[in-house]
A = this chain, B = another copy of it.
C-alpha cells in the first residue's frame, strides 16, 4: 500500500508517532486516571469516587490497559477485605508534563475554539 515517491511522503496511522500516543491515551478515561494518580497512589474505591461518572467496568478496564502499557503499577496488599493500590510508574510520570502542556493549551485557546464554533454554526444556520 501507499506506493509513494520521495516527493510526497505518505502519512499512515500505523507509522505516525502521535497516532501511537493516541493508541495509549485515546480513551477519555485514561487521562483522567493518570491525573487522579498524579498526586500519589490511590485505592480502587478512591479512584471510583474521585472520577465522576466512571463505571466500574471502564475503571477496571482502563486500569488494566494502563498497567499493561507499563504506565501504572497495581499493588495488592494481602488483607481481608482486599486492598489494592494503583500508582504511576516512572514511565507513567513522563507523561505528566505533556498532559499539563495540553491542559495549558486548552486554558489558553479553548475560548477561541468555542467562539469559532459559534460563528461557524451561525453562518451555516441558514439552510
Contact = CB atoms under 8 A, between A and B. Distances in A.
Contacts of A2: 52-53
Contact of A102 (B10, B98, B113): B98
Interface residues of A, number: 55
Interface in A1-58: 1-2, 8-13, 16-22, 24, 26, 28, 31-32, 35-36, 46, 49-53
A116 interface: yes
Contacts of A69: 113, 116-117
Copies of this chain: 2
Nearest to A22: B28
Looking at chain A's contact residues, the main secondary structure is helix
Interface in A60-95: 67-71, 91, 94-95
Contacts of A106: 17-18, 20-21
A126 interface: no
A101 B17 CA distance: 10
